[in-house]
Chains A and B, each alone.
Chain A
Amino acid sequence: MERCDTDMMMERPLGLFRAGGRVEPSLVLASGVALVVVLPILFVMVSIFADTRDIWGHLRENLLAGLLFNTAVLSAGVLALTALFGVWAAYLTALCEFPGRRFFSWALLLPLSIPTYVMAFVYTGLLDYSGPVATFLRQHVPTVAPFMPPIRSTGGVILVLALALYPYVFLLAAGGFASQGERVLEASRSMGLSRRRLFFRVMLPMARPFIFGGLILVLMETLADFGAVAVFNYDTFTTAIYKAWFGFFSIDAASQLASLLVVMALGVLTAEGWSRRRMRYFRGRDGRRAKRIPLSRRQALGAHLFLGGLFSVAFVIPMIQLFAWVGEAWREEWHLGYGELLGNSLALAGAGAFLTLSAALILAFAGRKLTGRFMAILSRISLLGYALPGTVLAVGMVRVLTGIDHMATGLFAVLGVAISGPFLQGTVWVMPVAYMVRFLSVGFNAVSSSLGRVSPSMDEAARTLGVSGFSLVRKIHLPLIQGGMVTGAILVFIDIMKEMPLTLMTRPFGWDTLAVKIFELTSEGEWERAAIPAVALVVAGLIPVGILVWQKERTNR
């Protein structure tokens, strides 16, 4: 592919400096972001030197092999299912035309705002032996009842996680499909490619960075998930982390296990970067978007069956169950100031999404400008916060905050002022930063795959017109990647609303959110009452999803 802009691409060792020895400002900013992310992770990893042979011995002897096997099966299953659901649904809604397409293009995003643990308790409640479905079958069709597969099984946990996570792939893949220019597809058609081959040889490969971006999010969510697997009592690698911590009270052993997760995530990110090291994905020069392929009536029926089925199972049925529980419990629960919880959730998610997206943009632009190996490492480590279970990251975060607080107290002592008490810990200001550390990966994936579509020849053209530096970013890049930015911001926004452990650890007194409320009630086994904050969370999630749809429709027109 074309390589241009020799000034930019000139390979210097590490690529740290501009000509003349001046430090590149975007690199300074990107290093700042990476530092903020890496500090709490390092504070988790300091534990690797602690002596925990005792616990490791036990885990190795009795559990580890099984846990790794379970984790591998779960990851593979969830990846396969989310890829199937997400890519197929994205292809149908972005590249095909049939009645109801517009409805599905936004409706299928709605499950985004159902947290995985909520999906898990809804489906175990609905389908377990004591649930309404199995009970109905036993009472009315006893011949069929014994053949109902148990929901609390490997298949069940894979399905439930896939239902909660496929929207990540769907959203990113739909963006990838939608931004494929018409010219490429025309060219491919003129070469006589059949529709099937067009899909597998052209459309799918062109959307690959988007699809992979989504699948990486899914994989990291799956690896770090604790809430959903705990509802199923399905033991994975995170189970070992929590066992070490909550059972053996060894935060050291837990941190060591979590560090392994970080290493695994680093491996995945590196492998993904390596696998597309020689590929460039640019948008065609004409702005025309691909014409949608009209479906025949039979094909449209098939599309309806698949999309309708997916929508029902991932959203309609869980919502019916949640509302049924709300009906049972609202008298007891509906007095606790849900307005305030909702307000807190929205405020935190807004501030966190803004900060996260800003950091993602810094990283993405620095990565575009600097191609040295240092930058590659920098952007990779900046994404690791997503791979740790939230609770473990929260401990790292608290260690950093208290460390800074200790230093501040020390500083005051030197200045002769004797005051103590936390300055950062327990203030609301650190929460958006904590969310940024956790969800930078989500924002970055959306932004960087869009930015990758902007051809460097565009920059070159702009420069010849005298537009460069920050105004190049502002006038050319930002408008072009607006879609990716909105996608990223909204994914992060919804992720923050669903987030629990970091919120629990870093919130100031009395700062409860909807997710915290769900935690409090579910950890007491009060599923019905927890349905109220869960429904509120989903409804609040409709706002950003609505913005997303509006924005998509506007740009796709």
Chain B
Amino acid sequence: MKIILSALCAVMVTLTGLSQAFSEELVVYSARKEHLIKPLFDAYEKKTGVTIKYITGKAPVLLERLKSEGAQTPADLLMTVDAGNLWHAAREGVLQPVSSSVLAANIPASLRDPENRWFGLSRRARTLVYSTERVSPSELSSYENLADPAWKGRLALRTSKKVYNQSLVAMLIAEHGETKTEAIIKGWVSNLAAPPFSSDTKALEAIIAGQGDVAVVNTYYFGRLQKKTPGLPLAIFWPNQSTGGVHVNVSGAGVTAHSKHPDAAKALLEWLSGPEAQNLFADANMEYPVNPSVKPHDFVAAWGEFKGSDLGLEKAGELQSDAIRLMDRAGYK
């Protein structure tokens, strides 16, 4: 028994030793998909010699994995989309605060955790897209206005199960309180042109086909369609410009609480927030850089400038559960 045990021991030690020999290695758990992150990691590897290993998955699933792995986790960095997911990760204690003057300088305060456990790396705007054939921009004004009976049978929405909509509604709650927001959501539901869609792209396609007139979507979904078929009868409208601003969310990352290489992970984060990576990061998915000194891609810049909401994004996390309950009550599926 003893012999078997020590033999097993020896094998394990060798295996572990082997994996630790390559210590210039970072492990990333990413809810951002492979084709969006791989080019960045390749560039970083080339520049620094640090190899980056990653697995992708849904944010809550990766979070659960981090939690059950605890101190043994191989992960150094958790990368997700939507501030709601990042906020939950921070609350569950799987991220550690990182103090870095580089990050503080590169990323505006509203796009990172007040306690520096997560940092936005790209900005996405959830805005209105309308049919240029059936809507004049003067009809549009705000998210709230879409509850107006004038939009009956004209609104195309994605399912309330998508975190983007949960964050949007959370921000509406932060601004207006529950009662008023519930009335707005009920208004949206009664204006729907079709049952909610499973994706932003489907909602946009419904507008092109004439099933609805206006949709609430992230800009890059519009961008992808526009790139594929230039001259679509669709246009972007920036809502709430005289009030709170367009709902802006982030994709971002944080260093895990049990990272074995916190300094290397911090260095990667800093690089990702810098000018070199910011364009790669944002452009890969037609998003906006978080770093104010970096300009968005021309294709994206052509959609015009807008005022983004500057409500702290942690609100999206705090109020996410309330937002879901509210949408369930309002019958928004």
Contact = CB atoms under 8 A, between A and B. Distances in A.
Does B associate with A? yes
Interface string B35-72: 10000000000000000011111101101110011111
Contact of A421 (B19, B34, B68, B329): B19
A135 B205 CA distance: 11
Interface string A387-400: 00001001100110
A245 B60 contact: yes
Given A417-B13, A505-B61, A520 B34 contact: yes
A422 B69 contact: yes
A525 B195 contact: no
Interface string A97-141: 000000000000000000000000000100011100011001000
B99 interface: no
Given A233-B159, A243-B161, A128 B202 contact: yes
A524 B36 CA distance: 10
Contacts of B209: 129-130, 134-135
A31 interface: no
Interface string B225-247: 00000000000000000000000
Interface stretch (A346-354, A371-379, A406-414): A406-414
Given A232-B198, A417-B9, A525 B221 contact: yes
Interface in A467-503: 501
Contacts of B72: 402, 405-406, 409, 420-422, 425
A235 interface: yes
Interface in B208-224: 208-211, 221
Interface stretch (B115-123, B306-314, B319-327): B319-327
Contact of A504 (B57, B88, B163): B57
A231 B333 contact: no
Contact of A509 (B5, B9, B54, B211): B54
A399 B67 CA distance: 9
A362 B30 CA distance: 39
A524 B69 contact: no
Nearest to A400: B68
Interface string A289-302: 00000000000000
B201 interface: yes
A17 interface: no
Contacts of A507: 55
B248 to A, nearest CB: 20
B74 interface: yes
A516 B27 CA distance: 19
A336 B39 CA distance: 12
A50 to B, nearest CB: 14
B9 to A, nearest CB: 6
Nearest to B158: A233
Contacts of B161: 230, 233, 239, 242-243, 246-247
A248 interface: yes
B256 interface: no
A235 to B, nearest CB: 6
A290 to B, nearest CB: 46
B145 to A, nearest CB: 25
Q: Is chain A's binding surface mostly helix, strand, loop or mixed?
A: helix
A45 B64 CA distance: 15
Contacts of A239: 161
A247 B221 contact: no
Given A62-B328, A520-B33, A391 B61 contact: yes
A251 interface: yes
Contact of B208 (A130, A232, A412): A130
Interface string A246-287: 111101000000000000000000000000000000000000
B12 A509 contact: no
A143 interface: no
Which one of B64, B197, B333 has the greatest number of beta carbons of chain A within 10 Å?
B64
A527 B196 CA distance: 18
Contacts of B329: 62
Given A420-B72, A421-B74, A243 B198 contact: no
B98 interface: no
Contacts of A58: 325, 328
A461 interface: no
Contact of B53 (A124, A509, A516): A509
Contacts of B35: 336, 520-521
B194 interface: yes
B206 interface: yes
A399 B61 CA distance: 12
A507 B13 CA distance: 22
B332 to A, nearest CB: 11
B313 to A, nearest CB: 16
A505 to B, nearest CB: 7
B100 interface: no
B23 interface: no
A444 B34 CA distance: 36
A406 B27 CA distance: 20
B294 to A, nearest CB: 23
A233 B199 CA distance: 10
Contact of A402 (B63, B68, B159, B208): B68
A527 B201 CA distance: 10
A231 B198 contact: yes
Given A235-B333, A242-B161, A247-B321, A512 B198 contact: no
B279 interface: no
29 contacts: A62-B328, A63-B328, A124-B202, A129-B211, A130-B206, A130-B211, A135-B209, A152-B195, A230-B161, A233-B159, A247-B161, A247-B321, A395-B61, A398-B64, A398-B65, A402-B69, A409-B72, A415-B9, A419-B16, A423-B12, A423-B15, A426-B74, A505-B61, A509-B55, A512-B34, A521-B33, A521-B35, A525-B200, A525-B201
Query: 7 nearest interchain CB pairs?
Result: A130-B209, A130-B205, A525-B199, A509-B53, A525-B201, A129-B211, A62-B328
Interface of A: 58, 62-63, 124, 128-130, 134-135, 138, 150, 152, 230-233, 235, 239, 242-243, 245-249, 251, 336, 391, 394-395, 398-399, 402, 405-406, 408-409, 412, 415, 417, 419-423, 425-426, 501, 504-505, 507, 509-510, 512, 516, 520-521, 523-525, 527
Given A130-B206, A130-B208, A233-B198, 12 more contacts: A124-B202, A246-B161, A247-B320, A249-B321, A398-B69, A406-B70, A422-B69, A423-B12, A423-B15, A505-B57, A509-B54, A509-B55
